[in-house]
Structure 1
Amino acid sequence: MKKNKSGSRRSKRDLRGKGIGIFGRIFLVAILCMVVPLIVSTFISTYLASDSLTTNAQENLQTLADDKLSSLEQYIDAQKTLTKAVSTSASVVEACQEYATNGTIDKEDQNTMAEYLAAIQEQSGNLYENFFITVGSTGYADISNNETLHDVSEEEFYLECVENGEFIGNNVSPVTGNPVYVISYAITDPKTGEVIGAVNNSIDLATMTEKIVSDDVYDIKLFDLNGIVVASPDTESILTINMNELDPESWNKQLENKEGYFSFSDPYTNEINYTGYVVSDNFLCQVSVEGSVFSDQTSQLYKSAFIIGIVCFVIAFIIIFLCARNISKPLQVANNQVNKLISDINEGHGDLTTKISVKAKDETGQLVKSINHFVDTLNNVIGSVRNTTNRVQENTITTNDVITEASESSMNISAVMEELSASMEQVSVSAETIAQDAGRVLETVESVGGESDRGASLVDEIKVRASEIKENTINSKNEIQNELEEKKASLEDAINASRKVDEITNLTNDILEIASKTNLLALNASIEAARAGEAGKGFAVVADEISLLANSSRETANNIQSISEGVVSSVNDLMEASNDMMSMMSDVVIRDYDDFEKAADNYYEDAENMEEIINSYNNSMDNLQGITESVANSIQVVSTTINECSTGVAEATENVNVLVASMGTIKSGADADLDDINVLKEEMSKFEESPLQDE
Structure 2
Amino acid sequence: MINKINKSILLKVLTSLIAITVLVFTITGVIVNYYNKNVLTKNINKSLEDNATIISKDVNSFFERGGTLVTQMTTNSSIKNLMTEVKTRDDVKTNPNFTNVVKSLKSIKETDKNASSVYMVIEKASYLIDETGEDSPIDWDVNNRPWYSETLKAGNLYYTAPYKDAVSGKMVITIAYPMLDNNGKSIGAVAVDYLIDKLPEIMKQYKVGETGYTFLLDRTGTFMYHPDETKILKDKFTEYAGTPGEVGKKMIKGESNVATYTLDNSELYAAYAPIKSNGWSVGTVISKSEVEKELVKFNILLLSTYIGGLILLILALYFVTTKILKDIPKLLEIIKKVAKGDLTSKLSVNSKDEIGQIAEAINDMNSNLNNIVTNISSNSQNVSASGEELSAVISEINKQIQTINAGTQEIAAAMEETSASTEEMNSSSEIIKNSILKLNSKAKDGNNSAMEIKTRALNMKEESETSKKITLDMYKEKEIAILTAIEDGKIVEEITNMAAIIEETASKTNLLALNAAIEAARAGEHGKGFAVVADEVAKLALQSTETVHNIQNIVGQVKNAFENMSQTSGGILEFIDKKVTADYNEMINRANLSLEDANNVSELITSFTTNIEDVSNSVEQLIKSLESVSAVVEEVASGASEIAGTVHDTKVSTDEVAEVAETQADLAVTLNNIVSEFKI
Under TM normalisation by the shorter chain, which class is it?
0.3 to 0.5
TM-score, normalised with respect to structure 1: 0.42
TM-score, normalised with respect to structure 2: 0.43
Larger Cα-atom Rg:
1
